[in-house]
Structure 1
Amino acid sequence: MGTVRTVLGGRGLLESPRWHGDRLYVSDWSSGEVLAVDLAGRPEVVARVASLPLCTAWDPDDRLVLVDSPAGRLLRREPDGTLARHAELGRPGWNDIVIDGRGNAYVNRVGFDMMSGAEFRPGSVALVGRDGAVRDVADDIAFPNGMAVTADNATLIVADSYRNELVAFDMADDGALSGRRVWAGLGDAAPDGICVDAEGAVWYADVPHQRCVRVAEGGRVIRTVEVDRGCFACVLGGPGGTTLFITAATWRGVPEMVPAGTGRLLAVEVDVPGAGWP
């Protein structure tokens, strides 16, 4: 079993870890910053967007795409560091994003405003096609959170935090979804950010249980990594793809959420490398 180490500390609500090139990209929702962090823990601010949530993905053209949730749009980071409009989503409230190997972007949306105490409504997933067109492709996901695409571009997996399950869909070449099914029931776990590995297992982060868990299809638990604070998301990366990066922080619930300075980027070595997206 690997030892969990701290790569970066003293941050706010860290989310959306993405390994790209030789660095880990992560969003600090508290400060509205996207950071690129090297393996020595040295951070560089690469984008600033006043958005909560603030999730990211890399497209096949090596461009960083960011979710500007309040404005209901996707932004694209240009080579000179400026942010350009990538797509109009048309309404606020967006959460996570994953872009598959074809360039199709899946963005999910929570159906109600948690901060205002609004009446609960289930969420949905929208597809932003390569032509920029936006259309809904899945609905009735109680609280859509992390998403991942398998390495063969065949399956989209979505974490439904409120129903305590991972939901899977078959993916067509044009991005359409079909064949909805429960990929894994997770008992009382509340899955947040997820990633897929080369054996087809999924790692999910669990805030209330302060852990990341690797599960097989059907829900069999293969490995658990426990930490001392809520785990919000995880991704596999590093030189061999076998470092599990975890974003974690002390969770106080709505509206306080995360006390300043408790956010950490953690890392632990695992046996199976990452695959697919993110």
Structure 2
Amino acid sequence: MTELRTWLTGLGLVESPRWHDGRLYFSDWTAHEVIALGLDGTHEVVARVDSLPLCTAWQADGRLVIVDSARGLLQRLEPDGSSTTLADLTGLGRGWNDIVIDGRGNIYVNRIGFDMLSGAAFDPGYVVHVGPDGSARQVADDIAFPNGMAVTRDNSTLIVADSYGNRLLAFDIEADGGLSHRRVWAGTGEDHPDGICVDAEGAVWYADVGNRRCVRIREGGEVLQTVEVDRGCFACTLGGQDGKTLFIVAAEWRMPEMVPPGTGQVLSTRVTVPGAGWP
């Protein structure tokens, strides 16, 4: 049994873990907060946004970008603590979910194609690219339920977790940020991959809510390692001083309340291969 460390408890629906500048950042969707956790155990709220989903990514210059899904905006935290609008996505729809920013500054945001919580009819989702001037365009479509995203360390490939499709999709990243050569990077069997990250060997870790685990998988589908947890795993990321700490955000999941208050946790375990790429 994998040894897990518990960092924080009593949280809500926790998502979007990101390792940045010596701390773990994650979102508590229930509390509408972005929280930073230090390796000494101290933590603080760095942003409050009344949105669900509430995902984040870091630009190369150290500014935090937040998906304000409720208003259809990308917001950026400035050094003085103020917030500015980086892009307006309202013309491309609602229901924005995950975000990743690669090493060249390309911003990718995905959208769920239907309102799952209201019982709306299924409709596939898509991915948009946001340029440096804030312009946004659709670059991939027909993804059953786009969830976590990651970019490989060489900036060549965007990987998207398709939760309803039980698979990880891959796209080549073109010079202008467009996507091409769509393919199935790996099937995940009965697992529904949620948040993902990439390691230095090119393998992907994905979190699975229903099966309460995180799985390391190679391109083509070979399972390399599984970490079992006592509650749903929403996302994971690699970080720590040597990049070999797998941080997991997890919570109980049951309908209709989704995540019972106070069941969210931040966990971690040690692994042998460090993180690479983005996030």
TM bucket, shorter chain: over 0.9
For residues 203 and 138 of structure 1, the distance between their equivalents in structure 2, rounded to whole angstroms, comes to 22
Deviates more, 1:38-47 or 1:97-106: 38-47
Q: Partner of 1:98: helix, strand, or coil? A: strand
Alpha-carbon distance in 1 for matches of 2:49, 2:111: 18
Distance 1:239 1:13 in 2: 26
Q: What amino acid is the match of 1:19?
A: W
Contact 1:7–1:39 under 8 Å retained in 2:
no
User: What residue number does 1:275 align with?
Assistant: 276
User: Contact 1:244–1:267 at 8 Å: present in 2 too?
Assistant: yes
Q: Identify the residue that residue 29 of structure 1 maps to in structure 2.
A: 29
Q: Secondary structure at the match of 1:199?
A: coil
Match of 1:74 in 2: 74
Cα distance between partner residues in 1 of 2:5 and 2:60: 31
Task: State the match for 1:170 in structure 2.
Answer: 172
Match of 1:243 in 2: 245
- The corresponding residue for 1:258 is 259
Q: Give the deviation of 1:180 after TM superposition.
A: 0.3
Give the alignment partner of residue 187 of structure 2, picking from 173, 185, 202.
Answer: 185
Q: Deviations over 1:194-236 (max 9, x none)?
A: 0000000000000000000000000100000001000000000
Aligned to 1:9: 9
Q: Residue 131 of structure 1: CA displacement?
A: 2.1
Aligned equivalents of 1:262, 1:115: Cα separation in 2: 20
User: Could you tell which deviates more after superposition, 68-77 or 34-43?
Assistant: 34-43
Partner residue in 2 for 1:150: 152
Name the aligned partner's letter for residue 30 of structure 1: T
CA contact (8 A) 1:206 1:212 kept: yes
Aligned length: 277
In the TM superposition, residue 168 of structure 1 has moved relative to its aligned partner by 0.1
Deviations 1:180-203 (A, max 9, x none): 000000110000000000000000
Match of 2:224 among 222, 225, 231: 222
Aligned partner of residue 206 in structure 2, secondary structure: strand
Deviation at 1:77, TM superposition (A): 0.5
CA contact (8 A) 2:143 2:162 kept: yes
For residues 85 and 141 of structure 2, what CA distance do their matches in structure 1 show?
Answer: 26
Which residue in 1 is equivalent to 2:118?
116
Aligned residue number for residue 64 of structure 1:
64
SS of 2:8's partner is: strand
Q: Distance in 2 between matches of 1:213 and 1:81?
A: 37
Q: Which blocks of at least 5 consecutive residues in structure 1 are unaligned? A: none
Distance 2:10 2:79 in 1: 29
How far the C-alpha of 1:25 sits from its partner, in A, is 0.2
Residues in 1 aligned to 2:178 and 2:261: alpha-carbon distance in whole angstroms:
40
Give the secondary structure class of the aligned counterpart of 1:17.
strand
Q: Deviations over 1:118-175 (max 9, x none)?
A: 1100000000012211000000000000000000000000000001000000001211
CA distance in 1, matches of 2:110, 2:5: 31
Q: Hey, what's the Cα distance between the residues in 1 that align with 2:233 and 2:146?
A: 16
Which one-letter code corresponds to 2:125 in the other structure? G
Q: Distance in 1 between matches of 2:244 and 2:131?
A: 31
Work out whether residues 252 and 260 of structure 2, in 8 Å CA contact, stay in contact via their aligned partners in 1. Answer: yes
Cα distance, 1:61 vs. partner?
A: 1.5
Picking from 163, 166, 176, the partner of 1:161 is: 163
Partner deviation per Cα, 1:84-109 (whole Å, 9 max, x = no partner): 11110113210000001111110000
Using the TM superposition, give the Cα deviation of residue 63 of structure 1 relative to its aligned residue in structure 2, in angstroms. Answer: 0.6
Deviation of residue 2 (structure 1)?
A: 4.9
Length-normalised TM-score, structure 1? 0.98
- Relative to the length of structure 2, the TM-score reads 0.98
SS in 2 for 1:115: helix
Per-residue deviation, 1:80: 1.7
Superposition deviation, residue 40 in structure 1 = 2.7
Residue identity matched to 1:272: V
Aligned to 2:212: 210
How many angstroms apart in 1 are the aligned matches of 2:239 and 2:206? 15
Instruction: State the Cα deviation string for residues 41-95 of structure 1 (Å, max 9, x = none).
Output: 2210000000000000001111100000010010000112221111101132100
Amino acid at match of 1:9: T
